[in-house]
Amino acid sequence: MNRRITWGVLLLLTFLTFYSWMPTEMYVSMPIMLAIIGGILCFVFMVQLFANFTDMEEITEWDRHPKQWYHKMAFVCIPANIVLMVVFCMHYTKLENDELREFGERVPATIVDGYYKKSSKSSTYALTVSYYTKKGKHVRRQKEVDNDQYDAASKGQHVEVIYSTKHPSLMKILLGDEMVEDLLGFKSRKLTVTDMTKILEMPGDSILPALNKISYRWTMSDDDSSTYVNEGKKTFFSAEPRVRITYVAMGENFMSMAADIRNAGFKKDARTDADSTEKSEGDLGLYTKGNLQILVHTKVIPHKADKDDPMAVFRVDEALVVSMFRN
Statement: residue 48 has pLDDT above 50:
yes
Average pLDDT, the chain: 85
Helix (H, G, I), strand (E, B) or coil at 315: coil
- Residue 317 has φ and ψ, to the nearest 5°, of -115, 145
Predicted confidence band of residue 313 (pLDDT cuts 50, 70, 90): very low
The boundaries of every CATH 2.40.50 domain in the chain are: 102-184
Helix (H, G, I), strand (E, B) or coil at 12: helix
What is the C-alpha to C-alpha distance for residues 176 and 221, in angstroms, rounded to an integer?
A: 21
Res 277: pLDDT: 44
Closest CA to 295 of 327, 317, 256: 327
Position with higher pLDDT, 257 vs 135: 135
pLDDT in tens, 51-107: 777 766 665 565 555 566 566 677 778 898 899 999 999 999 999 999 999 999 999
Statement: residue 172 has pLDDT above 90:
yes
Predicted confidence band of residue 278 (pLDDT cuts 50, 70, 90): very low
Res 89: pLDDT: 94
Mean per-residue pLDDT, 145-168 = 91
What is the C-alpha to C-alpha distance for residues 33 and 264, in angstroms, rounded to an integer?
A: 52
Mean per-residue pLDDT, 166-175 = 93
CATH architecture of 102-184: Beta Barrel (2.40)
Res 314: pLDDT: 43
Res 281: pLDDT: 46
Mean per-residue pLDDT, 35-44 = 94
pLDDT in tens, 188-235: 999 999 999 999 999 999 999 999 999 999 999 988 889 999 988 888
What is the C-alpha to C-alpha distance for residues 142 and 127, in angstroms, rounded to an integer?
A: 6
What is the C-alpha to C-alpha distance for residues 85 and 91, in angstroms, rounded to an integer?
A: 10
Mean per-residue pLDDT, 117-129 = 87
Most confident among 59-63, 245-249, 305-309, 311-315 (mean pLDDT): 245-249
What is the C-alpha to C-alpha distance for residues 140 and 19, in angstroms, rounded to an integer?
A: 30
Position with higher pLDDT, 223 vs 312: 223
**DSSP assignment string, 168-202:** TT-EEE--SHHHHHHHH--------HHHHHHHHTS
What is the C-alpha to C-alpha distance for residues 52 and 34, in angstroms, rounded to an integer?
A: 26
What is the C-alpha to C-alpha distance for residues 230 and 236, in angstroms, rounded to an integer?
A: 6
Res 317: pLDDT: 75
Statement: residue 316 has pLDDT above 70:
no
Q: Which run of H or of E encompasses 324?
A: strand 316-326
Q: Identify whether the C-beta of residue 247 lies closer than 8 Å to the C-beta of residue 269.
A: no
Res 222: pLDDT: 85
Helix (H, G, I), strand (E, B) or coil at 156: coil
Res 69: pLDDT: 59
